[in-house]
């Protein structure tokens, strides 16, 4: 099991598991971690088109709870190659962090990934 110590570790894990569609359609996935921040697994929550995908918070936490995760890392790609978060990205992250607090299941980060680089909400102080 890979241990996540920082956003670069998470980016490396995400890069190794992301589908070959990273530059063609937007997908949202969740990495599930144990108490030692080791990856328990991941699941694709939704898959959309070139400019967006719909994420149901209930599905995100269903996956986390079923995997007995202690924390999660959210991730989605931007096929455009631009890692700048949209207003919807900020709103979704806020909503999921609030739900995680209620469930005592920490959202450690939300990473926007491209085939070349990434942006970490935690590193940028957005979480």
| Average pLDDT score over residue span 37-65 | 91
Sheet containing 27-33, strands listed edge to edge, beginning at the edge strand earlier in sequence: 39-47, 27-33, 71-77, 106-113, 118-120
Percent of all residues in the chain with a pLDDT value above 90, rounded to a whole number: 79
pLDDT tens digits for range 73-110: 999 999 988 999 999 999 999 999 999 999 999 999 99
pLDDT tens digits for range 105-127: 999 999 999 988 999 999 999 99
Q: Which residue has the tokens 């999921």?
A: 96
Which domains can be identified in the chain, with CATH numbers?
21-119 (3.40.140.10)
* pLDDT range class, residue 66, cuts 50, 70, 90: very high
Q: How far is CA 85 from the centre of its chain?
A: 13
């Amino acid at each position: 099991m890979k241990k996540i110590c920082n956003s670069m570790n998470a980016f490396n894990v995400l890069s190794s598991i992301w589908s070959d569609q990273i530059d063609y359609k937007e997908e949202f996935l969740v990495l599930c971690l144990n108490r030692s921040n080791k990856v328990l697994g991941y699941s694709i929550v939704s898959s959309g088109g070139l400019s967006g995908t719909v994420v149901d918070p209930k599905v995100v936490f269903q996956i986390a709870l079923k995997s007995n995760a202690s924390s999660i890392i959210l991730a989605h790609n931007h096929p455009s190659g631009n890692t700048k978060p949209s207003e919807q990205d900020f709103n979704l992250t806020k909503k999921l962090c609030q739900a995680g607090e209620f469930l005592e299941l920490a959202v450690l980060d939300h990473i926007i990934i491209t085939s070349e680089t990434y942006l970490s909400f935690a590193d940028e102080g957005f979480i």
